[in-house]
Structure 1
């Protein structure tokens, strides 16, 4: 298993219940074939540049371990989730 870090950006106008439901779905995929080491909710942050005319996003940072094949599934789930603006997953070198 490899170590990864993910930053998930949610649209600012999304209600907390919908954001939590979407994050729980992504988190379940991470836990299914690996383990989560740390979850850090950064909250609402200003974007460096506008994305779809939005100037802010709600950020969640996750450190986790899983098989490399699961990254495709995590990205797929995030992209089909309406509350998710962007997701970036990077492999951490040890």
Structure 2
């Protein structure tokens, strides 16, 4: 089985459906004997350019180890799901389990915000 990094963008009005979509996609990977090494829900983000007159989208990142048949099935699901605006599936050399730069940046901002609040409370 090969390792893949999958990123897909969901229509912002369909954000409440994202957990169900993630569950469905991870279940199809696991049913075929694959593994999900990393799963990150980045939430709504500003797009670099409008897609279908939309300026925001809900992003999801998955790193999986799966057979090609599952990847073909996921591509088909992405293509025929109107809520998925864009997707990218890339073959990787090995499993990626560490946090992505997006999550690291979010965590560092949260730590800085907590530090600022504690400084203000201490003054």
Please give the TM-score of this superposition, normalised by the length of structure 2.
Answer: 0.69
Instruction: Name whichever structure is richer in strand by fraction.
Output: 1
Larger radius of gyration: 2
Paired residues, what number?
A: 93
Q: Which runs of 4+ in 1 moved over 6 A?
A: none
Instruction: Name whichever structure is richer in helix by fraction.
Output: 2
Which consecutive unaligned segments of at least 5 residues does structure 1 have? none
Equivalent residues of 2:15, 2:58 under 8 A apart: no
Corresponding residue of 1:4: 4
Which consecutive unaligned segments of at least 5 residues does structure 2 have? 95-123
**Take 2:27 and 2:86, find their aligned partners in 1: how far apart are those partners?**
18
Structure ranking higher on relative contact order (CA contacts 8 Å, 6+ apart): 1
| Alignment root-mean-square deviation, CA | 1.4
